[in-house]
Amino acid sequence: MAAGRRARCALVALCLLPVLPAACGERPTTDPARAAVQRVLDRRAEAVLRHDEAAYAATGTRTPYANLRALPLAAWSYRLTGLRRSGGTATAEARLSYRVRGYDTAPVTVGRTLTLSTGAGGAWSVDSDRPAKKAPQQLWDQGPVSVVRGRHSLVLGVGQSTGALRRYAGLADRAVPAVSDAWGTDWSRRVVVVVPGSLEGMAGLLGSPASEYRGIAAVTTGEVGVAEPGSARPGAGPGPDRTPADRIVVNPDAYEVLGSLGRQVVLTHEAAHVATRAHTDPATPLWLSEGYADWAGYRGSGRTPGQVAPELRRAVAQGQAPAALPADGDFAFTGDAARLSRAYEGGWLACRLIAERWGEARLRAFYRAVGAHERRAGAVEDALREVLGTDLGTFTAQWREYLRTHLR
């Protein structure tokens, strides 16, 4: 058989295959329900932005709107990513993107699962809107959101009194200028503080088990539900990530047991993470990002190294001073609270040493130089040499001596 004839026969055979939805050469048709559902989601999003409860109710269930109506939103949109339907019911997978007005420089984007059904006229309406599988909750999933505005802060809460949210705003409003005084003003100089009703609510927002955050007063996330790498002792936020929509998420159960200084240190520490975000990179070790945030938090507090670093002081007294700066793994949850505390204390004392010996301006320059490095290997070593005029071995020896001197 000639090659041309074989090709023609093959083409005829393909056109006759029953699995093809259209005749050979025609484009398969798309499910018209997909476009109809996207239109419903578009109308729903527009109603949220216009604060039009009646228009929102016309698209289906109004429960989410009642919970989120107080949010000051600059953007809200759904993008349909999948649709499964059976007759007059459907399950839609979508990406919700939204921005808080005046605070978010880029949208928070999260997965949502919506169920829909058709009415007598065949129009689709939303029956439920919930987090997608493995996606974190949003604050409005936990109840009606209350909003308090501070000078430099926006506090969003569920299950919290207005008075309690105002107290958080006051702490955040003091934290922001304190961080600007330490770091500089090349950041947004405003923070969003999210206060759920409980530890379980915090864990829901972060998409992790509550056991991972028990005793942790707050964490900073790039966006709610995308927690930074690393872990945190009480009052400390995890390491950095690059997402611009920062949130300080509070664990009210742990936060409320802190004293007045501890509460202020927590918010200042977390605000420092927001300020340093643009200069924090995978090249930045956790001892530096967490140490700097603690240094900013305790700066001007009058607390001595022995008061701030009791676990490390105990280790030094027992002749068990660390031989090296804390590794990233030392900041992980392992069930050893003392080890975790020593890691944070060691990072804080390393930053305190730089601020005292080389000056606060050099500490800032060192942090930025490390974050500007393209990769972890050599980042600290290059910044030590270029900014502080030293090397890692010498700096480590100076840090160890600093521990012995200040923690006796």
- Write down the pLDDT at residue 26: 44
CA distance 345 to 404: 13
CA distance 78 to 47: 12
pLDDT in tens, 65-123: 999 999 999 999 999 999 999 989 999 999 999 999 999 988 999 999 999 999 878 89
Task: Flag whether pLDDT at 25 surpasses 80.
Answer: no
- Residues 337, 339, 343, 348, CA torsion sign: positive
CA distance 75 to 97: 7
Task: Flag whether pLDDT at 381 surpasses 80.
Answer: yes
Confidence band (pLDDT; 50, 70, 90) for 335?
low
- Among 76, 79, 68, CA closest to 38: 79
Q: Say how many CA atoms lie within 13 Å of 223 toward its Cβ.
A: 21
Output the CA–CA distances (angstroms, integers) from residue 231 to 134, 215, 270, 295, 330, in the order listed.
20, 12, 13, 17, 9
Task: Flag whether pLDDT at 284 surpasses 70.
Answer: yes
Q: What percent of the chain has pLDDT over 70?
A: 87
The whole-chain average pLDDT of the chain stands at 88
Retrieve residue 181's tokens: 């005084």
- Write down the pLDDT at residue 334: 65
* Ramachandran angles phi, psi of 129, nearest 5°: -145, 110
- Write down the pLDDT at residue 47: 97
Q: The tokens 């992980």 sit on which residue?
A: 332
> From the CB of residue 15, how many other CB atoms can be counted at a distance below 10 Å?
12
CA distance 98 to 224: 12
* Ramachandran angles phi, psi of 37, nearest 5°: -65, -40
Confidence band (pLDDT; 50, 70, 90) for 31?
confident
Task: Flag whether pLDDT at 379 surpasses 90.
Answer: yes
Confidence band (pLDDT; 50, 70, 90) for 332?
confident
Task: Flag whether pLDDT at 140 surpasses 50.
Answer: yes
Task: Flag whether pLDDT at 228 surpasses 60.
Answer: no
What number is the average pLDDT over the span 240-268? 86
Task: Flag whether pLDDT at 237 surpasses 70.
Answer: no
Retrieve residue 405's tokens: 């001197």
Task: Flag whether pLDDT at 163 surpasses 80.
Answer: yes
What the chain holds in terms of domains, given with CATH numbers, is: 32-134 (3.10.450.50), 136-277 (3.40.30), 281-408 (no CATH)
Lowest mean pLDDT among 107-111, 140-144, 203-207, 229-233: 229-233
